[in-house]
Chain A
Amino acid sequence: MSDTTNSGPVLAADGTPLKRSLARALRMQKIRALMLIAPLLLFVLLTFILPIADMLFRSVENQIVSETLPRTVVALADWDSESGEAPDEEVFTALAEDMKIAAEAKLHTRVGSRLNYENPGISSLFRKAGRKAKKWDIENDGPFKEKFLDIHKNWGSPDVWRTIQVYSPKLTNGYFLNAADMKKGADGAEWRPENEQIYWTLFIRTLIMSLAITTSCIILGYPVAWILANLPSRSANLLMILVLLPFWTSLLVRTSAWKVMLQQQGVINETLVWLGLVADDARLVMINNQFGTIVAMTHILLPFMILPMYSVMQTINPTYLRAAKSLGATNWTSFWRVYFPQSVPGIGAGSILVFILSIGYYITPELVGGTKGVFISNRIAFHISSSLNWGLAAALGTILLVVVLGLYWAYDKIVGIDNVKLG
């Protein structure tokens, strides 16, 4: 009976406490599992998470001004931007010194481009001043204020100096303000003039259009998925190829095909005119507007809606429907009360896929969207590839990411993310 009175830990065969021995065995297992996924984890980290984090950081990063013009930034700190006058000689001497060093390292035009995003015209001020500054002798060539004003009169403009002062900190919220149609005014953030406001319009339009595309995908995709799920497998396979066919065709080809179909001299209009349904001088405008964008993108994204719906519908047992009908339900009631609720996870999965994909689309809207069908992603693409204002592009992208995560959260609260199935 001595065994039962022993209150010490349970021991394993080799005498170590069982708890520790078990933990060690499990730890080995965990490490082995981790080693197995390590390549993937590393790959995702290096090619996905780090670049995204780097891009997000660019939306607030602004070291270039204080790094390239260190003396000027310090000298300018005491200058009162409300004075209505350019700063004094001390600041100009500091700028001359910074400019000379920057021009020798060919960095002055980069700062110029950076500040030009905030105040158009600064880029050429820096380009011109850098060319001269290379030849200056800082010790003996002063005073520099006149020299700068000789290069361009705008070096005397308080507005230029205010921009340098406002954008001298290492971190800035300026990009986010720009992305929200605001700017840094004399007393904090203020709205941009109405003729420069564009991003709010585009954000809201992107969300509304994406919702419209998702809805039309549900309406068109649901019956197709239903037929696919209820046909005998041989005909279902044939139909499935038709659904998948667009997947194997280039996006540009499909978009151009819609142009041929929808334009005013296109197939649909010609047919309608030939049938006498539409007058020759009143042809329908179906492309280069929101309608064209919704049609073309619905077509492109439809498979992403049909496939999850189909795989969920396949798992719905047909006997449930028969049972409902044998209990006296009409066709509609048995569909609506029995079949439809079971297919909702497929709709959920398809909707999330289509909605998120359409928010990021920009090639199709660019080609068929005209002026009213353009998305926010078109502007992000412009700032990445053309204006090189990556800070603003990053800010716009961050906002879009936060909005999508917010919608995902709301979806989880309302529908529940457990209720999404891909099959």
Chain B
Amino acid sequence: MKFSKFSALAATTALCAPMAYADGHMSNELTLVSWGGAYQSSQHKAYVEPYLAMNPGLKVIWDESSAEAVAKLRAMNEAGNVTWDLVDAVASDSMRLCDEGLAEEIDHDNDLAAAPDGTSASDDFGALLVSDCFVPQIVYSTTFGYRTDLIDKPDSVCAIFDLDKYPGKRSLQKRPIDNMEWALYCDGVAKDDIYDTLSTPEGVDKALAKLDTIKDSVVWWSAGAETPQLLADGEVVMGSTYNGRLFSAIAEQNQPIGMLWDMQSFDLDGWVMPAGLPEDRKARAMDFLKFATDTQRLADQAKYISYGPARASSAPLVGKHAELGIDMAPHMPTDPANAGNVHVYDYEWWADNRDDLDGKFQAWLAK
């Protein structure tokens, strides 16, 4: 009797001990915020499943709120009740969150894993560390898809402005970012001068005048799924969207769509940690962040979705698609064959001018 009681106690203690030991100061819950869909599931498979295998007691909750993360984080912060631990955000949103004091600053070299060869995290990510509060995961690009059966193969982004050679409607995102740059580029402005030109009122007029030439032939989209659908329906003959969306339309759904990589606009998506988390949750989030952004994890994600890993050291590890079995490297926006002529997005410039230009762009649209 005595013995069995004791052994039961011992067993309980033994069961509890490893958890208490390993997670002593870490929360047992982790709330991650992402975009839902194929992208979130690629994160779940590449980061969360192996992390859960290492931390059996942990509960991971996904919230598909990245699209309104900026506003919600601000509201949570003002209410003093932040329920999120890590938020997936695009780079420009991460800068805004950082500026507003809503995101935690991250010491990239101390908080993140070094590359397998010992290169420090900040060197491995390089220029992609665009904000002190941001840990990039993937490089994606906004680029064009076209109907291979309805128009000739375009070889330059300026095909969108050439209504004679490529008749039909095109779809563009309902925002000034990227469209203004493409307009100036196709109006003969040198790539290096685009932002200088756009900084002047005349430059803005010039870009809008160029867009004016195709305004009646444009369908404006606001959700990434729209362009693939419009292309599939034959409603537009070419249109911009995220490269991963085009990849799944082409490789997974076998639509007659081709990729136009010329002047693709690189952008980044990554983790942001809300400011002012309690210590135990912060420790848990930091531990996950370090694991989920190491070289192997970022390379693993490319098995499930065609976005390029943000670390230089991950690129050689990119393998085949987990289900389709096709080689993923040629579908990455960062692949040398695709990245011959890219548009380099100036985050700092857009952080300053986004609101102003958006006003002008919307006024132009409404006219």
Task: Show the binding face of A for B, using Cβ within 8 Å.
Answer: 106-107, 109-110, 112-113, 116-117, 120-124, 127, 195-198, 201-202, 205, 263-266, 288, 366-367, 370-372, 374, 379, 382, 384-390
- Check B362 against A198 for contact (C-beta < 8 Å): yes
- Check B220 against A109 for contact (C-beta < 8 Å): no
- Check A288 against B222 for contact (C-beta < 8 Å): no
A117–B100 alpha-carbon span in the complex (Å) = 13
Q: Is B16 an interface residue (CB 8 A)?
A: no
Residues of chain A within 8 A (CB-CB) of B357 are 120
- Give the shortest distance, in Å, between A133 (CB) and chain B (any CB): 15
B218-248: contact bitstring with A at CB < 8 Å (1 yes, 0 no)? 0110110000000001110000000000000
With A264-B235, A385-B71, A387-B355 known to touch, is A195 a contact of B222 (CB < 8 Å)?
A: no
Residues of chain B within 8 A (CB-CB) of A382 are 358
Q: Is B1 an interface residue (CB 8 A)?
A: no
Residues of chain A within 8 A (CB-CB) of B15 are none
- Check B101 against A107 for contact (C-beta < 8 Å): yes
User: What is the size category of the interface that chain B forms with chain A?
Assistant: 35 or more
- Check B359 against A198 for contact (C-beta < 8 Å): yes
Tell me how many residue pairs across A and B have CB atoms closer than 8 Å.
Answer: 91
- Give the shortest distance, in Å, between A316 (CB) and chain B (any CB): 44
- Check B356 against A370 for contact (C-beta < 8 Å): no
Q: Which of B6-14, B47-55, B345-353 contacts A (4 or more CB under 8 A)?
A: B345-353
Point out which of A196, A371, A384 has the most chain B C-beta atoms below 10 A from its C-beta.
Answer: A371
Since A109-B101, A263-B235 are in contact, a sample of 12 more A-B pairs with Cβ atoms closer than 8 Å, ordered by chain A residue number, is A106-B101, A109-B99, A123-B351, A123-B352, A124-B351, A196-B359, A265-B235, A367-B222, A371-B215, A384-B71, A386-B71, A388-B100
Point out which of A116, A120, A201, A370 has the most chain B C-beta atoms below 10 A from its C-beta.
Answer: A120
- Check A120 against B100 for contact (C-beta < 8 Å): no
Q: Is B127 an interface residue (CB 8 A)?
A: no
Minimum CB distance partner of A288 in chain B? B219
Minimum CB distance partner of A113 in chain B? B99
Residues of chain B within 8 A (CB-CB) of A123 are 99, 351-352
Minimum CB distance partner of B357 in chain A? A120
Q: Is B287 an interface residue (CB 8 A)?
A: no
With A263-B235, A288-B219, A288-B220 known to touch, is A120 a contact of B70 (CB < 8 Å)?
A: no
Residues of chain B within 8 A (CB-CB) of A385 are 67-68, 70-71
Minimum CB distance partner of B131 in chain A? A127
- Check A198 against B363 for contact (C-beta < 8 Å): yes
Residues of chain A within 8 A (CB-CB) of B351 are 123-124
- Give the shortest distance, in Å, between B297 (CB) and chain A (any CB): 29
- Check B222 against A112 for contact (C-beta < 8 Å): no
Point out which of B222, B233, B355 has the most chain A C-beta atoms below 10 A from its C-beta.
Answer: B355
B123-136: contact bitstring with A at CB < 8 Å (1 yes, 0 no)? 00000000000000
With A195-B360, A201-B366, A384-B71 known to touch, is A124 a contact of B352 (CB < 8 Å)?
A: yes
- Give the shortest distance, in Å, between B131 (CB) and chain A (any CB): 10
Q: Kindly identify, within residues 158 to 200 of chain B, every residue whose CB is under 8 Å from any CB belonging to chain A.
A: 169
Q: Is B321 an interface residue (CB 8 A)?
A: no
The one of B222, B358, B365 that contacts A387, using a Cβ cutoff of 8 Å: B358
- Check B96 against A124 for contact (C-beta < 8 Å): no
- Give the shortest distance, in Å, between B221 (CB) and chain A (any CB): 9
With A195-B205, A195-B363, A265-B233 known to touch, is A388 a contact of B96 (CB < 8 Å)?
A: yes
With A120-B352, A124-B351, A384-B71 known to touch, is A112 a contact of B220 (CB < 8 Å)?
A: no
Residues of chain B within 8 A (CB-CB) of A124 are 348, 351-352
- Give the shortest distance, in Å, between A290 (CB) and chain B (any CB): 12
Minimum CB distance partner of B232 in chain A? A265
Residues of chain B within 8 A (CB-CB) of A387 are 354-355, 358
A372–B220 alpha-carbon span in the complex (Å) = 11
Task: Show the binding face of B for A, using Cβ within 8 Å.
Answer: 67-68, 70-71, 74, 96, 98-101, 105, 169, 205, 208, 215, 219-220, 222-223, 233-235, 348, 351-360, 362-366
Residues of chain B within 8 A (CB-CB) of A367 are 222-223
Residues of chain A within 8 A (CB-CB) of B96 are 113, 388
With A366-B222, A370-B219 known to touch, is A120 a contact of B68 (CB < 8 Å)?
A: no
Enumerate the 5 nearest inter-chain pairs by beta-carbon distance, A residue then B residue, closest first.
Answer: A109-B99, A120-B356, A385-B71, A198-B363, A371-B365
A121–B252 alpha-carbon span in the complex (Å) = 44
Summarize B's interface: helix, strand, loop or mixed.
helix
Residues of chain B within 8 A (CB-CB) of A371 are 215, 220, 365-366
The one of A110, A112, A116, A127 that contacts B355, using a Cβ cutoff of 8 Å: A116
A259–B27 alpha-carbon span in the complex (Å) = 46
The one of B99, B235, B355, B363 that contacts A389, using a Cβ cutoff of 8 Å: B355
- Check A370 against B366 for contact (C-beta < 8 Å): no
- Give the shortest distance, in Å, between B144 (CB) and chain A (any CB): 19
A-B contact pairs, 25 of them (CB 8 A): A106-B105, A109-B100, A110-B99, A110-B101, A113-B96, A120-B355, A121-B353, A122-B352, A124-B351, A195-B363, A196-B359, A201-B366, A265-B233, A367-B222, A370-B219, A371-B366, A374-B362, A374-B365, A374-B366, A385-B67, A386-B70, A386-B71, A388-B96, A388-B100, A390-B74
Residues of chain B within 8 A (CB-CB) of A116 are 352, 355
- Give the shortest distance, in Å, between A202 (CB) and chain B (any CB): 7
Residues of chain B within 8 A (CB-CB) of A120 are 352-353, 355-357
A170–B102 alpha-carbon span in the complex (Å) = 23
Minimum CB distance partner of B175 in chain A? A386
Residues of chain A within 8 A (CB-CB) of B70 are 385-386, 388
The one of B67, B71, B234 that contacts A265, using a Cβ cutoff of 8 Å: B234
Residues of chain A within 8 A (CB-CB) of B98 are 109
The one of A121, A122, A197, A366 that contacts B363, using a Cβ cutoff of 8 Å: A197
Minimum CB distance partner of B199 in chain A? A121
Minimum CB distance partner of A105 in chain B? B101
- Give the shortest distance, in Å, between B176 (CB) and chain A (any CB): 12
- Check B366 against A198 for contact (C-beta < 8 Å): yes
- Give the shortest distance, in Å, between B367 (CB) and chain A (any CB): 8
Minimum CB distance partner of A120 in chain B? B356
Residues of chain B within 8 A (CB-CB) of A113 are 96, 99-100
- Give the shortest distance, in Å, between B361 (CB) and chain A (any CB): 10
The one of B68, B235, B360, B366 that contacts A372, using a Cβ cutoff of 8 Å: B366
A121–B67 alpha-carbon span in the complex (Å) = 25
- Check A370 against B363 for contact (C-beta < 8 Å): no
Residues of chain A within 8 A (CB-CB) of B364 are 195
A124–B350 alpha-carbon span in the complex (Å) = 10
A265–B363 alpha-carbon span in the complex (Å) = 29
- Give the shortest distance, in Å, between B63 (CB) and chain A (any CB): 16
Residues of chain A within 8 A (CB-CB) of B68 are 385
A201–B348 alpha-carbon span in the complex (Å) = 31
Minimum CB distance partner of A197 in chain B? B363
Residues of chain A within 8 A (CB-CB) of B352 are 116, 120-124
Residues of chain A within 8 A (CB-CB) of B356 are 120
Minimum CB distance partner of B221 in chain A? A367
Residues of chain B within 8 A (CB-CB) of A117 are 355
